[in-house]
Amino acid sequence: MRRTLAVTAAAGTALLARRALRRRIARSPLWPLPALETPVSGHSPRRSLRVRVLARAEPAQGVVELTLGAPALPSWTPGAHVDLLLPSGLVRQYSLCGDPAAGTYTVAIRLDEAGRGGSREAHARLTVGTELRLRPPRNRFALVPAGSYVFVAGGIGITPVLPMLRAATAAGAAWTLLYGGRSRASMPYLELLAAHGDRVTVVPQDEAGLPDLSPLAALRPGTLVYCCGPRPLAEAVLAAVPDPAAVRLERFAPAGGSGADRPFTAELRRSGRTVEVGADESALAAVRRELPATPYSCGQGFCGTCAHRVLAGGVDHRDTFLTDREREDSMLLCVSRARDGHLVLDL
């Protein structure tokens, strides 16, 4: 009898240990290294929602529009984006371009044949009925109340602007939109925008060249400029507006750093290792030589998967994900670098 009780107790202890181990591994992708007490990105990278593709359309050549639905989706505001967890495991960010009151999420994805595969997978695999996961909406491009706005969009950069136009109209604000693209066939939502009449100026590059930004030099006081598009467009808008504080940007690529890329040293405090980061490589690439299981996804400073705590050293932040508060003690390894030649990371 005593032997039976002892065996039963041992088996129960082993089961509890296995469960604890599984929970421990789930908390830290780099187990057995300690997990961070709280996720540095502000929300757990494992938190996600299951959604289904309810509808699919093609609002322009090379662009697919997906309507995603699920019970009780979190609310969102104009300018927000979601992280789609594609079936392959890739994570990609897309702006929400539907109506916040619709109870569904709508994204529009341009096919980029020269990209890293996310858009190709979305076009090929996300059909009506497909189930996938996404992370709740985040907004780093929020529409600030103002009496008047100038919106500037390039190509697929029209997506976060669409709900802003609805919100500005509902608030009674004055606004205009300058919308450029390679050709009319490639520019989504032209029919929808036509309803706004002369508030909208459409500039297809194959017909009229690049948009004329010179009117931005004479903005009325209190007017805010919202721009979403390729880096050259964003830089041109910043150069054209007399007061940079009036400009809000949503970029297609991570922002450039404060200087030339220089090699630096990264000390991985918890693992007791030091890595040399070359001028032509990312901190993520260097760290993964020593810790191959270090998680990452977008590689462009958008998704936050590779966020880690910085214990010492100044960071040249180049991401579009972390808040100012998070940047005080964290960095994204895929794009950000050391400001002064040395960093100490909680890895």
pLDDT of residue 103 exceeding 90: yes
Give residue 90's pLDDT band: very low, low, confident or very high (50, 70, 90). confident
Task: Say which range, 29-33, 233-237, 249-253, 292-296, has the weakest mean pLDDT.
Answer: 29-33
pLDDT of residue 186 exceeding 70: yes
Give residue 250's pLDDT band: very low, low, confident or very high (50, 70, 90). confident
pLDDT of residue 143 exceeding 60: yes
Q: What is the CA radius of gyration of the chain?
A: 23
Task: Say which range, 30-34, 86-90, 145-149, 180-184, has the weakest mean pLDDT.
Answer: 30-34
pLDDT of residue 208 exceeding 90: yes
Give residue 4's pLDDT band: very low, low, confident or very high (50, 70, 90). low
φ, ψ for residue 335 (rounded to 5)?
Answer: -130, -30
Own/partner pairs, 189-193, CB within 8 angstroms, 24+ separation: 189/59, 189/60, 189/97, 189/108, 189/158, 189/162, 190/60, 192/162, 193/158
Give residue 18's pLDDT band: very low, low, confident or very high (50, 70, 90). low
The dihedral over CA atoms of 133, 136, 142, 145, expressed in degrees to the nearest 10, equals: 130
Q: Which helix (H) or strand (E) holds 129?
A: none
Task: Round the average pLDDT of the chain to a whole number and report it.
Answer: 85
Q: What distance separates the 2 farthest-apart alpha carbons in the chain?
A: 91
Give residue 1's pLDDT band: very low, low, confident or very high (50, 70, 90). low
Give residue 81's pLDDT band: very low, low, confident or very high (50, 70, 90). very high
pLDDT of residue 255 exceeding 60: no
pLDDT at 29: 39
Give residue 40's pLDDT band: very low, low, confident or very high (50, 70, 90). very low
Its pTM surpasses 0.85: no
pLDDT of residue 239 exceeding 60: yes
Query: Up-side HSE of residue 27: CA atoms within 13 Å toward CB?
Result: 13
